[in-house]
């Protein structure tokens, strides 16, 4: 006589949990990237200009980069010896970095 006890397939459960974590993380990154982009555009010192319009989100797996390809952006952001810095990107990041922690913490598995 024998008794067989079967439990759930742990490998499948782990794969499902990992997939939920990946999706939740990507969603959280998208939310915070959108908030950061919006704040960067709002903080951009030149309203409705080329610099403000050029602030984009560049997306890769588990990476969101908010930036601009306008050549003079670094001078506006970091300043020059003739002009004070106006760090619209860094300030937007600083304002939203805790939102990423919150979004990841609130992620439901």
Report whether pLDDT(3) > 90.
no
Closest CA to 36 of 13, 8, 5, 67: 67
* Domain parsing of the chain, residue ranges: 10-106
C-alpha distances in Å from residue 70, one per residue of 12, 13, 35, 99 = 47, 47, 21, 27
Closest CA to 39 of 81, 106, 99: 99
Res. 2 pLDDT band, cuts 50 70 90: confident
Exposed, middle or buried by CB within 10 Å (0-12, 13-18, 19+), for 88? buried
Mean pLDDT of the chain: 91
Q: What residues pair up with 59 in beta bridges, in sequence order?
A: 64
At 11-37, the pLDDT tens digits run 888 999 999 999 999 999 999 999 999
Which percentage of the chain shows pLDDT scores above 70?
98
């Amino acid at each position: 006589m024998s008794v067989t006890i079967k439990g759930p397939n742990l490998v499948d459960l782990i794969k499902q949990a990992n997939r939920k974590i990946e999706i939740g993380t990507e969603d959280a990154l998208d939310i915070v990237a959108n908030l950061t982009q919006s704040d960067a555009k709002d903080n951009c010192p030149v309203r409705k200009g080329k610099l403000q319009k050029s602030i984009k989100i560049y997306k890769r797996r588990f990476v969101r980069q908010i930036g601009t390809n306008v050549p003079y952006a670094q001078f506006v952001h970091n300043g020059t010896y003739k002009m004070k810095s106006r760090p619209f990107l860094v300030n937007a990041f600083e304002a939203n970095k805790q939102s990423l922690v919150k979004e990841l913490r609130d992620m439901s598995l």
